[in-house]
Amino acid sequence: MTMLPDEYVDGLYAEDTQLKATAEGIRERGMPEISVAPGYGRLLTMLVRMSGSKQILEIGALGGYSGICLARGLGAEGRLISLELLPEYADVAMEHMRQAGLGDKVQYRIGEALGHLEKLGAEGATFDFFFIDADKENYPNYLDWAIRLANPGAVIVGDNVLLRGRTTDPLKQGPSVLAMREFNKRMASDPRLESTILPAYDGLAIARVKDSAAAKV
Ligand code: SAM
């Protein structure tokens, strides 16, 4: 029987024991099983490493699966700030990061991401890499903040941009869908960005902030 492309590709890779344990920890606690897809997790590690990013901002931690993928790509001085609404999820994420030997790389900030983004802006914080993976209605707002807090050449990645087919279904007009269409349109056409959108798994949008549009220029 023909395999689905995502299954075929995932089957080529050796089992990742840390990520497997993280996924199991999420399942055992009854948390939603909505971590980033394995292939995109590998891509996050590669993008962080290839871009030489030192400061990462993640929006939406859940149980730390993507946090592990992001932090794995960091060098010795690299740090990850992760924004998570629910304290109990951030606790689980920290436990998984520690189990993966990455606990010293991450700081969780609990509560509404938009509030933390305003504080980070007021502090003058800037980042080399953004992973947007929280409430879909706010994706356009998160994109605005990412561009505002971006160092030259910063990478912005948004997960689940296809919303399991809802983004491309004209009959779907709910707030998450409308926000995601707006996010995708802006990722594709904002003159401050160069980008691509990958349609595998649930869709991943990747942009690079042009030097002239970045916070420190
Ligand atoms: N990035 C995670 C991974 O791949 O391992 C998955 C994140 S999950 C899709 C979305 C997360 O965003 C949930 O943990 C949820 O609690 C969090 N979240 C939802 N709304 C939020 C908000 N307004 N501010 C901060 N976090 C939020």
- pLDDT-based confidence at 1, cuts 50/70/90? confident
Distance 112 CA to ligand 1 centre (A): 10
Query: How does pLDDT run across 10-45, given as a tens digit for each residue?
Result: 999 999 999 999 999 999 999 999 999 999 999 999
Closest residue by CA, ligand 1 atom 3: 35
- Who wins on pLDDT, 1 or 214? 1
Q: What is the DSSP string of the chain?
A: -PPPHHHHHHHTSPP-HHHHHHHHHHHHTT----PPPHHHHHHHHHHHHHHT--EEEEE--TTSHHHHHHHHT--TT-EEEEEES-HHHHHHHHHHHHHTT-GGGEEEEES-HHHHHHHHHHHT--EEEEEE-S-GGGHHHHHHHHHHTEEEEEEEEEE-TTGGGTTT-TT--SHHHHHHHHHHHHHHH-TTEEEEEE-STT-EEEEEE-GGGSTT-
Question: Class of 5-213 per CATH?
Answer: alpha beta
- pLDDT-based confidence at 216, cuts 50/70/90? low
Query: How does pLDDT run across 123-133, given as a tens digit for each residue?
Result: 999 999 999 99
Please say if the pLDDT value at position 154 is more than 80: yes
Q: Which residue has the tokens 């919303």?
A: 163
- pLDDT-based confidence at 214, cuts 50/70/90? confident
- pLDDT-based confidence at 211, cuts 50/70/90? confident
CA angle 156, 117, 70 (to 5 degrees): 40
- pLDDT-based confidence at 54, cuts 50/70/90? very high
Distance 134 CA to ligand 1 centre (A): 4
- The pLDDT value given to residue 162: 98
Amino acid 72 reads R
Give the residues surrounding ligand 1 with Cβ less than 6 Å away.
34-36, 60-62, 65-66, 83-86, 89, 112-113, 133-135
- The pLDDT value given to residue 27: 98
- The pLDDT value given to residue 210: 94
Distance 217 CA to ligand 1 centre (A): 31
- The pLDDT value given to residue 217: 47
Query: How does pLDDT run across 155-200, given as a tens digit for each residue?
Result: 999 999 999 999 999 999 999 999 999 999 999 999 999 999 999 9
* 26/63 Cα distance (integer angstroms): 6
Distance 216 CA to ligand 1 centre (A): 28
Distance 113 CA to ligand 1 centre (A): 9
Query: How does pLDDT run across 58-115, given as a tens digit for each residue?
Result: 999 999 999 999 999 999 999 999 999 999 999 999 999 999 999 999 999 999 999 9
ipTM value of the model? Answer: 0.99
Sheet holding 193-198, edge to edge: 106-110, 79-84, 55-59, 127-132, 150-159, 204-209, 193-198
pTM over the 0.80 mark: yes
Collect all residues with Cβ–Cβ distance below 8 Å to 59 and sequence separation of at least 6.
83, 113, 117, 130, 131, 132, 133, 134, 142
* 17/113 Cα distance (integer angstroms): 30
Residue 5 burial (C-beta neighbours within 10 Å; 0-12, 13-18, 19+): exposed
In a mutational test of the pocket of ligand 1, which residue from 72, 130, 132, 135 has the highest number of ligand atoms less than 8 Å from its CB? 135
